[in-house]
């Protein structure tokens, strides 16, 4: 059984690596810097507890990309498409903004992956994002109704996701434009707004699928 000291050292290294990776990025961060940040005198500590810098970073990515699933605990299949959309939006908002998560080092690492992907990004997408996106696309097709195409469902998904991610990516600018706005305190209101706004957009797209009424003169 691992000792408490060993558990504590591993946790310190893990938390320290998040800070270092957030500041330096995966490629530029060094094991020496991580050990120094953790207060570990032995620079072999990362290899001892995690195997390598790469395996340590991959463990952090596992935590990031699986975060949504920790909020998504309800029976998805029992929900109506509208309830599924509301659940998707609420879960993402809680994951991104609760407890200032949007301003954390974890979010910095995630944003870095979006701009300078590590070698592990494809594995993360296949393990976490692809199954999630497949069920979300199915949901959007149900919301759009008969005649909805895969492209239309994809565009709706991107439109909703873009709203949800906005504060995470734009916070350094937005917080200076609107300094009194507290995203961490208003994420539930933001979720409600995105849901209502998205329903209106989905309805507009759905209306494009309705048969066109013939002109009164038959033209």
Q: What is the pLDDT of residues 19-74, one digit of tens each?
A: 999 999 999 999 999 999 999 878 899 999 999 999 999 999 999 999 998 888 77
Which residue stretches of the chain have pLDDT < 50?
1-5, 213-216, 219
pLDDT in the model for residue 212: 59
pLDDT in the model for residue 6: 56
Question: Please, which contacts does 113-120 make with residues 24 or more away whose CB atoms are closer than 8 Å?
Answer: 113/61, 113/64, 116/25, 116/26, 116/27, 118/26, 118/27, 118/57, 118/61, 119/54, 120/54, 120/57, 120/58, 120/61
**213 Cα distance to chain centroid:** 42
Sequence-ordered alpha helix ranges (H) in 3-129: 4-28, 31-38, 45-50, 53-65, 67-71, 81-97, 105-115, 121-124
pLDDT in the model for residue 2: 45
Measured CA distances, 151 to 130, 140, 219 (Å): 16, 11, 31
The dotted CATH code for 66-207 is 1.10.357
pLDDT in the model for residue 132: 93
Q: What is the pTM of this model?
A: 0.85
Query: Is the distance from CB of 87 to CB of 47 less than 8 angstroms?
Result: no
Domain residue spans of the chain: 4-60, 66-207
pLDDT in the model for residue 5: 47
Measured CA to CA, the distance from residue 197 to residue 193 in angstroms comes to: 6
Query: Is the distance from CB of 110 to CB of 64 less than 8 angstroms?
Result: yes
pLDDT in the model for residue 100: 85
CA nearest neighbour of 119 among 209, 43, 203, 52? 52
Measured CA to CA, the distance from residue 105 to residue 182 in angstroms comes to: 18
> In this structure, which CATH number among 2.60.40.10, 1.10.10.60, 2.40.33.20, 1.10.260.40 belongs to the domain 4-60?
1.10.10.60
């Amino acid at each position: 059984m691992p000792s408490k000291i060993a558990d504590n050292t591993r946790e310190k290294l893990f938390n320290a690596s998040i800070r270092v990776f957030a500041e330096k990025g995966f490629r530029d961060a060094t094991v020496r810097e991580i050990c120094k940040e953790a207060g570990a005198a032995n620079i072999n500590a990362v290899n001892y507890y995690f195997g390598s810098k790469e395996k340590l970073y991959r463990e952090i990515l596992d935590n990031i990309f699986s975060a949504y699933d920790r909020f998504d605990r309800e029976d998805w299949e029992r929900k109506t498409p509208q309830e599924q959309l509301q659940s998707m939006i609420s879960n993402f908002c809680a994951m991104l903004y609760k407890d200032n998560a949007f301003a954390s080092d974890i979010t910095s690492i995630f944003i870095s992956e979006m701009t300078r992907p590590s070698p592990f990004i494809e594995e993360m997408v296949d393990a976490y994002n692809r199954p999630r996106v497949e069920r979300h696309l199915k949901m959007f097709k149900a919301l759009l109704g008969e005649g909805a195409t895969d492209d239309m469902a994809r565009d709706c998904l991107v439109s909703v996701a873009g709203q949800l991610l906005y504060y995470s990516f734009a916070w350094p600018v937005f917080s200076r434009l609107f300094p009194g706005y507290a995203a961490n305190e208003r994420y539930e209101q933001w979720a409600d707004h995105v849901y209502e706004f998205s329903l209106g957009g989905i309805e507009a797209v759905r209306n494009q699928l309705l048969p066109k009424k013939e002109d009164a003169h038959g033209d």
